[in-house]
Amino acid sequence: MLEIKFVRENLDLVRRSLGKRGLDYDLGAFVDSDSKRRAILLEVEALKHSRNTVSERIAQMKRDKQDASDLIAEMKGVSQKIKALDEQLNQQEQALRSVLMELPNLPHPSVPEGEDAEDNLLVSKVGEPPLFGFEPLAHWEIGEKLGILDFERAAKITGARFALYMGLGARLERALINFMLDIQTKEHGYLEVLPPFMANRASTTATGQLPKFEDDLFKLEGWDYYLVPTAEVPVTNIHQGEILEQDALPVLYTAYTPCFRSEAGSHGKDTRGLIRLHQFNKVELVKFTTPETSYEELEKLLNDAETILKRLEIHYQVVELCTGDLGFSAAKTYDIEVWMPGQQRYREISSCSNFEDFQARRANIRFRRKGKKGTELVHTLNGSGLAIGRTVVAILENYQQEDGSVIIPEALRPYMDGVERISH
């Protein structure tokens, strides 16, 4: 959430920044609510000052044994008016908060301007696409032929956009989870956490999914709980309403969770395979940092996520998202896109973002500088390290062999009890 004072004092800048996102927000509702709130606040403060002054007069009159009944009656009226104004003030503050909740974060000045994914900036390419002496298959064909993926039975159990992993397919998924968690905890200094797979409205609002994107979530009927769309939600909210010490920063967490998404608006997209499911597994990386170090930490976060693909020896590219493709809460984002030979295209496998203080303001996560009074908002960052199902896709498509088998990447074999190949 943007700061009220910042928006008020920088209306033109906010309009321009939102315009770079391709959004034409009318800030009139903000200006109106903010003006009314400030006017009521001034009136309340004036009445309270008057009440305090008159209360001192009443006390003095009582000490002098004078009749203060008229002033007492007058102050009762003032108190009632203050109470009524406080209710109006609360209404205006709620209206103002509702307006701010609809405003996305402002892009960092370094973010390239553009309308959509076509305008994203290529940062780097790592490795080379594999060369095949045959026509490479898509992962759903490979998985079904090997008997490790069963989409038909998954649809029977639940419905469309679900997957059933069998045998070495299930083992591969589990191996990847452990492989990723081990690298992040043993080599990069993250603390592993296992959070709840449901989050309440306050937590889901804090990270920016609510109120704007409720249609993308699964809500439990009769409960104020949502199935988590990403571990970002519960892990970021570990420190909701807390004050951290500067010496403890950065705080680094990694978590495996299943993720649940309605995929609203994706009708007809990626209807086959593992790319776009209602339920999928992911290892998430979350950071809490000081403002002055957050962009340095973003580069480290990106490197931490890239490490997985480097160890698996899979070709990928990194792109910086343009202003028009940024997520709602992000100030700057890098996407890691892995090469999928069976689809002849790059697909996102990780997004690494700096949210600056946008989420921290919603969640009220602050830190105290050493030797200084007061507190400041932390900066929050997160990234996928990685999406498990899409990593399975990348392995099946990049390591497929002409005989239909799939080679297990060497780095992953210790997690597969030495299995080197998935065959018929």
One-letter-per-residue 3-state SS of 51-63: HHHHHHHHHHHHH
Full residue range of the structural domain in which residue 94 is found: 4-102
In a domain, 223, yes or no: yes
Same domain, 50 and 22: yes
Give the C-alpha separation, 407 to 399, whole Å. 5
Per run of 10 residues, the mean pLDDT along the chain (length 424 residues) is 96 96 91 94 93 89 88 90 94 92 97 98 98 98 98 97 98 99 99 99 98 96 98 99 98 99 80 95 99 99 99 99 98 99 98 99 98 97 98 99 99 98 96
Same domain, 96 and 227: no
Maximum pairwise Cα distance, the chain: 107
* pLDDT at residue 41 in the model: 94
In a domain, 198, yes or no: yes
Same domain, 137 and 254: yes
* pLDDT at residue 283 in the model: 99
CATH of the domain at 132: 3.30.930.10
Type and span of the H or E element at 18: helix 11-20
| Total structural domains within the chain | 2
Same domain, 190 and 249: yes
Contact 135, 144 (CB under 8 A): no
- Write down the pTM of the prediction: 0.93
Same domain, 177 and 73: no
Same domain, 138 and 260: yes
Same domain, 279 and 159: yes
- Cα distances from 265 to residues 34, 262, 324, 336, in angstroms, run 34, 9, 18, 23
Closest by CA position to 129, among listed 317, 266, 393: 317
Q: How many residues does the chain have?
A: 424
Tokens of 395: 């392995």
The 10 Å CB-count burial string (b at 16+, else e) for 27-66 is beebeebbebbeebeeebeeeeeebeebeeebeeeeeeee
CATH of the domain at 58: 1.10.287.40
In a domain, 110, yes or no: no
Give the C-alpha separation, 104 to 110, whole Å. 17
Same domain, 226 and 182: yes
Last residue of a domain, one of 71, 102, 133: 102
| Catalytic (active-site) positions | 261, 276, 348, 351, 390
* pLDDT at residue 26 in the model: 84
Give the C-alpha separation, 31 to 36, whole Å. 9
DSSP string, 341-365: TTTTEEEEEEEEEE-TTHHHHHHT-
Same domain, 127 and 218: yes
* pLDDT at residue 128 in the model: 97
